[in-house]
Amino acid sequence: MDKRTIITAFPMFRRLPAAFLLALVATFAIQGQRVDSTWYAVKDKPEATLKAIAELQIPYPQILDSQDGAYNLYGLNGIPHIILFAPDGTILARGLAGENIEQQLKKIFNN
């Protein structure tokens, strides 16, 4: 079974720093586990999101969605919101923040 996990973040860029997720991804990579990150921007004008991506040097793939598609699809009630997906699209965990993200990844990878 593919143990890769995808972190999808619906961020408020200043409250969920890219450096935090970069360090988290690197930590698991050292242990031989793959964690990918995708950021999904909702509720913002695309121009503002692109400016924040450039200023904050966000290295992850970005999905810009000012039409609230994902926000409504996943039933989000606030941002930031973290969802962990399995490679097959199954939601493994949601509504995580800070250390809870790392704890949930350890649980998924049985560390």
Instruction: Write the pLDDT tens digit of every residue in 57-93.
Output: 777 788 887 677 777 888 877 777 888 888 888 889 9
For 37, the token pair is 């990150």
The domain of 100 spans: 5-109
Give start and end residues of each alpha helix (H) in 1-111.
18-30, 46-56, 69-73, 99-109
Name the β-bridge partners of 33. Answer: none
Q: What is the pLDDT of residue 26?
A: 86
Q: What pTM was computed for the model?
A: 0.77
The total of structural domains in the chain comes to: 1
Q: What is the pLDDT of residue 4?
A: 60
- The dihedral region occupied by 98, where left means phi > 0, alpha psi between -120 and 50, and beta the remainder, is left
CB 28 within 8 A of CB 4: no
Here the CATH number for the domain that contains residue 64 is 3.40.30.10
